[in-house]
Amino acid sequence: MKLRLFYNSAVIATILSYLLIFIGGLVRVSGAGMGCPNWPKCGEGWMPPGNMDIDQINTTLAWIEFTNRMFGVILGISIIVLNVIAIFYFRKKHNSFSTNKTSLLFYSILSLIFVVINGILGGVLVRFELNPYIKTAHMLFALVLVSILSYICIKSYKILNPKLFKGLKNNPNLSKSLIFLWVLIVIEILLGTGIRTNLELNSPDFFKENPLGSIGDLLNTLPSYKYLHSILGFSLLFLSIYIYLKFRNHKLYIVQFLSMFIIGMIIVQIFLGYMLVLLELPQSFQQLTRLFHTWGSSWLVGVIIILYNCISDEYAK
């Protein structure tokens, strides 16, 4: 019963972490990062003012940013609950259920550390007025957090259903390929974050000097690393196809499904990226495209962790 409760808590925390990434993306595309000009308060109070003339705060942007902060608090509480359950259940039993002497208790505590650090980074980001380096670190910690929570989910699920994974033969080369894919995905997301940050910084001056310019013209002003983003995107696609071909006849349907999901999501992300560059989209549609471009990419991070652990061989005989 306690293990089932732990698993359910991990699933809830993971879902909340993805929702928080979505709301964080909404904050960014809407320009609400400084909607609350200070932290942890929002203006003079703990909640956004009802009148937008108070403290020169835009009420709509303030509420978007405030919602982001509240979801961060809710996620933190869910991870605290996860840790309480883990401490009571795994403090004496974790060694018998661990792989390579690492435990679910350890990763639960690690998730708590990361959510606290990322919450502090969120406050520092406001204090330093959306510094791009802090913004990148904030995103990196969010990706690592969702990876840790995804790991906890799949590991606890395997403990609950050991027969499902019994007798699997692990392929070291495929495991390394998945690790490499995860690293490349994270680098790709951070590169995309850097490109968007530079576009946001250069946009006002560029369109002031070039009122008839396009997003493509603005992109051409960026350093050559912008090409690496595209090259890496297609490299990810080819690597994911290779992984799918190796897993298409796997005994577990979830392995087949996740490998197909990774290919599909990478194709969607490439398509959305080129839509942003090549098409002159209305601003609202452009913001939605950017939002789902970032959020969809974050799904891949957790899915790869789950797939990696679905093919591990701790239950093999």
- DSSP string computed for 145-163: HHHHHHHHHHHHHHHH-GG
Residue 101 is predicted with a pLDDT of: 38
Tokens 């690592």 locate to 144
What is the residue type of 299? W
Same domain, 172 and 316: yes
Residue 316 is predicted with a pLDDT of: 45
Domain count, the chain: 2
Same domain, 175 and 156: no
pTM of the model: 0.88
Alpha-carbon torsion (285, 31, 200, 138), positive or negative: negative
In three-state secondary structure terms, 45 is: strand
Same domain, 156 and 169: no
- Find out whether 14 and 97 touch, Cβ atoms under 8 Å: no
Same domain, 145 and 209: no
Phi, psi (5° rounding) for residue 95? Answer: -65, -35
What one-character-per-residue DSSP string does 189-258 give?
HHHHHHHHHHHHHHHHHHHHH-TT--HHHHHTTS-THHHHHHHHHHHHHHHHHHHHHHHTT-S-HHHHHH
Same domain, 149 and 169: no
Same domain, 134 and 173: no
For 112-136, give one letter per residue: b (16+ CB within 10 A) or e: bebbeebbebbeebbeeebebebbb
Same domain, 120 and 181: no
Residue 211 is predicted with a pLDDT of: 65
d(C-alpha 64, C-alpha 41), whole Å = 14
Residue 151 is predicted with a pLDDT of: 94
Same domain, 91 and 202: no
Query: Along the 317 residues of the chain, how does pLDDT read in single tens digits?
Result: 678 899 999 999 999 999 999 999 999 888 888 888 888 888 777 888 766 555 567 788 888 889 999 999 999 999 999 999 988 887 665 444 444 335 788 999 999 999 999 999 998 998 888 888 888 899 999 999 999 999 999 999 988 888 888 777 778 889 999 999 999 999 999 988 888 777 766 666 666 566 656 666 667 777 777 788 889 999 999 999 999 999 988 888 999 999 999 999 999 999 998 888 777 778 788 888 888 998 999 999 999 999 999 887 554 44
Same domain, 129 and 194: no
Nearest Cα neighbor of 301 from 188, 225, 196, 195 is 188
Q: Which of 138, 160, 182 is the last residue of a domain?
A: 160
Q: Which of 160, 184, 218 is the last residue of a domain?
A: 160
Same domain, 218 and 312: yes
Same domain, 254 and 112: no
Q: Which of 94, 126, 160 is the last residue of a domain?
A: 160
Alpha-carbon torsion (32, 37, 38, 41), positive or negative: negative
Q: The domain containing residue 233 runs over which residues?
A: 164-317
Same domain, 277 and 296: yes
Residue 98 is predicted with a pLDDT of: 46
Residue 257 is predicted with a pLDDT of: 95
